[in-house]
């Protein structure tokens, strides 16, 4: 649809996501989650991004340019006992991004992952620990994404950009 209307696709931003335990209000241990809740988590957090990347890759290869930005999460690198499925899906997003970068690089197509830690999108995020002592403001994440989409980042591909206030440096209790 976008290709038909605009004649090209320059940027894909896969920004959908959510922890199924919170979104589906299903606060159970992983082994007690209904399969439908697990499927929902994989559909929203991983498969949707795979499908959208699949849909635009051919056009980007044909035009010899394009940027795919996938939203990961600190949970994709740290893991989370309270969100096993979410962590697995976000880890998959990081792998997807690296594989897309390998496929796209010979054709001028880039792929990057942005993995936020706590972001002030809801009140509970303010209580999550980071080395910098606060959650990110949404604009800080947006600014990173805008940079990665710009020509200033033309040599960046296949990378996972942690924007987590130092949370993944280690030692966070």
Q: Would you state the pLDDT for residue 17? A: 87
Q: Would you state the pLDDT for residue 173? A: 63
Q: What angle do CA 115, 74, 51 make, to 5 degrees?
A: 50
Q: Would you state the pLDDT for residue 36? A: 92
The pLDDT tens digits for 16-53 are: 888 877 777 788 899 999 999 999 999 999 999 999 99
Q: Would you state the pLDDT for residue 172? A: 65
CA-based diameter of the chain, in Å? 50
Q: Would you state the pLDDT for residue 20? A: 77
What is the CATH architecture assignment of 2-166? 3-Layer(aba) Sandwich (3.40)
Domain boundaries, the chain: 2-166
Got the DSSP string for the chain? -HHHHHS---EEEE-----HHHHTT----GGGS-HHHHHHHHIIIIIHHHHHHHHHHHHHHHHT-EEEEEE--THHHH--TT-HHHHHHHHHHHHHHHHHHHHHGGGTEEEEEEEE--BTTSGGGGGS--TTSSPBPHHHHHHHHHHHHSGGGTT--S-EEEESTTGGGS---
pLDDT tens across the length of the chain (173 residues):
788 999 999 999 999 888 877 777 788 899 999 999 999 999 999 999 999 999 999 999 999 999 999 999 999 999 988 889 999 999 999 999 999 999 999 999 999 999 999 999 887 777 788 999 999 999 999 999 999 999 999 999 999 999 999 999 876 66
| Residues acting as catalytic residues | 86
Nearest residue to 24 via CA among 44, 49, 50, 48: 44
Q: Would you state the pLDDT for residue 171? A: 67
């Amino acid at each position: 649809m976008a290709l038909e209307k605009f004649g090209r696709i320059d940027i894909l931003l896969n920004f959908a996501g959510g922890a199924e335990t919170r979104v589906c209000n299903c606060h159970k241990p992983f082994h007690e989650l209904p399969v439908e809740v697990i499927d929902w988590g994989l559909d929203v957090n991983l498969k949707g991004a795979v499908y959208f990347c699949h849909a635009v890759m051919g056009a980007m290869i044909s035009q010899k340019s394009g940027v795919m930005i996938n939203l990961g999460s600190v949970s994709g690198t740290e893991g989370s006992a309270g969100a096993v499925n979410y962590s697995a899906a976000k880890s998959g997003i990081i792998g997807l991004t690296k594989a897309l970068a390998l496929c796209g690089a010979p054709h001028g197509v880039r792929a990057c992952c942005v993995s936020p830690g706590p972001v002030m999108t809801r009140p509970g995020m303010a209580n999550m620990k980071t080395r910098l002592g606060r959650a990110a403001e949404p604009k800080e994440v947006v600014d990173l994404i805008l940079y990665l989409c710009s020509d200033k980042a033309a040599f960046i591909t296949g990378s996972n950009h942690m924007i987590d206030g130092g949370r993944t440096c280690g030692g966070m209790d």
